[in-house]
């Protein structure tokens, strides 16, 4: 079984013991687009609850977690092969950690690896502006801004693991971390 890791390798070793764990399954749930928003709302509510004493701090932390969760789950819903999406999330040492696992097909995997290789070699802020200009010129079907905004605007750290899991099936594990702004003026 071949495995490729892109991004920050250390994140792939992060422990998610004592984390929140959700599995979104095909079947009666009729897994679709709206589940990404619902699920990211739930994760943000659950994870930010402990910071509720400060309104400003809570809003910042809630939003960062919600944005990151929503973008990662949107990608999983959009690009997955039929099957489960497994989501783990926790807050440890002032850092929000999240892991999303789903399967994609081999062509999607190759395309995504190419995009990531280019993304990781450049400055995310500059690439974000370039990508926006390219989108405005081309009317392409996907904006490609999700990961770029996470890297450039939210300073998220990320890693992607690609493992062959069957014929034309690749198991993609995305791990992301976000430093929580634990200082507030309140």
Residues near other proteins (CB under 8 A) are 33, 36-37, 59-60, 63-64, 66-67, 70-71, 74, 78, 128-129, 132-133, 135-136, 139-143, 145-146, 148-149, 152-154
- Specify the residue, 83 or 146, whose C-beta has the smaller distance to other proteins: 146
Partners of 100 in beta bridges: 87, 174
- Specify the residue, 139 or 167, whose C-beta has the smaller distance to other proteins: 139
- Specify the residue, 106 or 129, whose C-beta has the smaller distance to other proteins: 129
Nearest CA-CA partner of 22 in 44, 1, 43, 41: 43
Residue 40: CB minimum distance to other proteins, A: 9
Q: What are the φ and ψ backbone dihedral angles of 84, each rounded to 5 degrees?
A: -80, 155
Instruction: Sheet containing 3-7: give its strands across.
Output: 3-7, 157-166, 169-179, 95-104, 85-92, 20-24
Residue 56: CB minimum distance to other proteins, A: 9
- Specify the residue, 10 or 45, whose C-beta has the smaller distance to other proteins: 45
Residue 88 burial (10 A CB sphere; 0-12, 13-18, 19+): buried
């Amino acid at each position: 079984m071949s495995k490729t890791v892109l991004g920050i390798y250390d994140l792939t070793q992060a422990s998610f013991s004592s984390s929140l764990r959700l599995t979104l399954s095909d079947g009666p749930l009729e897994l679709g687009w709206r589940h990404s928003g619902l699920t990211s709302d739930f994760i943000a509510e659950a994870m930010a609850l402990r910071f509720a004493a400060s309104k400003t701090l809570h809003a910042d932390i809630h939003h960062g977690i919600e944005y990151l969760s929503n973008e990662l789950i949107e990608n999983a819903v959009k690009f997955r092969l039929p099957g489960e999406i497994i989501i783990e999330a926790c807050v440890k040492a002032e850092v929000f950690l999240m892991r999303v696992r789903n399967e994609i097909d081999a062509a999607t995997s190759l395309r995504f690896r190419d995009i990531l290789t280019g993304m990781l070699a450049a400055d995310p802020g500059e690439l974000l502006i370039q990508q926006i200009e390219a989108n405005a010129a081309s009317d392409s079907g996907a904006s490609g801004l999700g990961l770029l905004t996470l890297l450039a605007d939210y300073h998220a750290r990320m890693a992607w693991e690609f493992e062959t899991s069957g014929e034309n099936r690749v198991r993609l594990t995305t791990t992301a971390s976000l430093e929580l702004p634990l200082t507030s003026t309140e």
